[in-house]
């Protein structure tokens, strides 16, 4: 793992409890529907992950330009 965070070689692998987006495929798998609070929490986690990855990309770009 390039970053040692369990996200795989491209940084896009599963994180969290490996359940995917908050109940996005609920009807297909028989899951219950998400509440707005659950969806908000999942989206906040996704946002934090994307921001972390962007920070790492920017740091790496900066290191390559120096």
Range of the domain at 2: 1-66
3-state secondary structure of 17: coil
pLDDT of residue 34: 86
Cβ-based neighbours of 16, under 8 Å, separated by 6 or more = 45
Compute the distance between CA of residue 14 and CA of residue 16 in angstroms, rounded to an integer. 7
**Which of 56, 63, 54, 61 has its CA nearest to residue 2?**
56
What integer pLDDT is reported at residue 33 of this predicted model?
83
Summarize pLDDT for 21-64 with one digit per residue, the tens: 555 544 555 566 889 999 999 999 999 999 999 999 999 999 99
Q: How many domains does the chain have?
A: 1
Give me the pLDDT at residue 66, please. 82
Is the pLDDT at 6 greater than 80? The verdict is no
């Amino acid at each position: 793992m390039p970053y040692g965070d369990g996200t795989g070689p491209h940084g896009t692998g599963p994180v969290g409890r490996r359940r995917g987006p908050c109940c996005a495929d609920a009807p297909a798998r028989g899951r219950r529907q998400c509440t707005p609070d659950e969806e908000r929490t999942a989206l906040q986690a996704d946002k934090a992950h994307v921001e972390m990855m962007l920070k790492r990309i920017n740091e790496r770009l900066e290191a390559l330009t120096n």
